[in-house]
Structure 1
């Protein structure tokens, strides 16, 4: 799944939009302001822009010298960009962050003073110049690739959910198994020789969460329930999980090599958040909501992998598997 990029411009700047769409096609899914899928009939322009800001991972506003502004007091005449381009850049800047909303401006286009000191993507069409449009487009691609590797706290909850799931379950289970080397299985403590955990992320989330998926997955894969052991003299209870002994004969009086499988129940929160974030009064497939769901699942996985790789108890023991049907 490629990230989604909204491209806006004036009518006069459309030739640059077409160029950028072609240049960026391998890296992002481009949604241009002139596409039928963006501005649909009978919809208010501002509402459409707000919706696109919610759906987009990145935004690119092309600023071209479309108008001439004269400052009589200073005796200056300048080529200026359309007000709507600046407005839309600000809208997407607030929705996606400063690292994900870009202004792609002609080098001598007059920008508002708010941009003084801010590095923007200024391009020239003069061949061989340091900021030729091809060179600046490559800078844009690198900026998108850098930002795509990072996760941010956004309006939707996947980043915070992944952080909480790792801290509250994955890390604690792995630490208990690695430290105590035993589990509570069928009401008896059993020693383990090792442990591996697979975090299972479904391809899509049901409207009522992941409970049905968990039940089906555990049944198909023959998983059994166990808990981390509670050490003598300590209070509390173990952490429950589903697992299987692999190979099965290891469980016959020998230390168990525990293969743990977990589907985060917290994923159901993503669906509820999307319902509030993008409300609808229709029944049936909704490609925008499906896009947001896939984006949140992907981000959940990326954040989780980051934390797994930075903890001694989980690194090398936990794998995240995406897109399970």
Structure 2
């Protein structure tokens, strides 16, 4: 489930609650007043740390302040300055395509935002129409991947190029596998990418236990410029002549390390923020990988990505 952060001033909280009510039917929504800010931590630090756990952000700019321009002493209504700051912060981290701004039509808009389509509102009905626009945009965003602060998109691209692209030519021509010196004909090929459900587990140890429990064999496929090692379910090959390759992508540990660096982990154990951010990166990794696999009809026809709760699950 995608997660949305909703920011507003105290004066505009009712509008923020309308937005939350609309989106909470499909998404996990958090308003800033919902115990978002941490004790003994600055507002700025919390905003940055928690941004990595959200997929989208919505900000409400209401009739919050009155400002006077020194040059001509003209007075006008304005959005609270911290809302502008938070909008810019999240647009930079999540991308401007996943950060949305509802602005009351009675206030002037900051000149830096001129040319950007914002959602202007006056009545509650306008807010609901704006929510529909945002929902349509989210539906379009769900079909693609954005390169953001954390590296899951890039890691998935790298994994695809160094695993699937290298495998493709070898598997297209694969007729047999040697198992313990015995030549076994291959009648069908399948690839399963295994994603551990527990993002806080040591994936290296988890993978070793998984391969051991499922009695995985190891074989080398002759590829240029090097041999390519893969794990496979040995019993499937011996009993059904099905060459089922299984792999647990350790490359995602790089994203987990980046999350811990951003959060500034200085404790033993797991915090909800850390878990939520890792889950978000996992989902984005899988989504990116699926999109890349679809570009390769052969690989797409033989591959599935599954989430597994325990390493002792039978494949």
Please, what TM-score do these two structures have when normalized by structure 1?
0.87
Superposition deviation, residue 88 in structure 1? 1.0
Deviates more, 1:292-301 or 1:179-188: 179-188
Gaps of 5+ in 1: 251-255
Match of 1:221 among 214, 231, 247: 214
Asked whether 1:191 is paired with 2:177, we answer: no
Contact residue 195 and residue 259 of structure 1 kept, 8 A = yes
- Go from structure 1 to structure 2 and tell me whether the alpha carbon gap of 1:172 and 1:187 turns closer, same or farther (over 3 Å shift): farther
Asked whether 1:172 is paired with 2:170, we answer: no
* Equivalent residue, structure 1, for 2:313: none
* Structure possessing the higher radius of gyration over alpha carbons: 1
1:94-137 CA distances to partner (integer Å, 9 max, x unpaired)? 1111111111111232111122221111123176xxxx222111
- Go from structure 1 to structure 2 and tell me whether the alpha carbon gap of 1:265 and 1:73 turns closer, same or farther (over 3 Å shift): closer
Distance in 2 of aligned mates of 1:237 and 1:29: 45
Superposition deviation, residue 184 in structure 1? 4.2
Superposition deviation, residue 49 in structure 1? 1.9
Structure-to-structure mapping, 1:3-82, within 5 angstroms: 3-36=2-35, 38-70=36-68, 77-82=75-80
Contact residue 171 and residue 313 of structure 1 kept, 8 A = no
* Equivalent residue, structure 2, for 1:308: 293
* Equivalent residue, structure 2, for 1:116: 114
Distance in 2 of aligned mates of 1:281 and 1:21: 33
Contact residue 184 and residue 237 of structure 2 kept, 8 A = no
- Go from structure 1 to structure 2 and tell me whether the alpha carbon gap of 1:237 and 1:34 turns closer, same or farther (over 3 Å shift): same
Gaps of 5+ in 2: 311-315
Superposition deviation, residue 138 in structure 1? 0.8
* Equivalent residue, structure 1, for 2:229: 239
Contact residue 184 and residue 227 of structure 1 kept, 8 A = no
* Equivalent residue, structure 2, for 1:139: 133
* Equivalent residue, structure 2, for 1:291: 276
User: How many aligned positions are there?
Assistant: 310
Contact residue 195 and residue 248 of structure 2 kept, 8 A = yes
Please, what TM-score do these two structures have when normalized by structure 2?
0.89
Contact residue 236 and residue 243 of structure 2 kept, 8 A = yes
Asked whether 1:264 is paired with 2:254, we answer: no
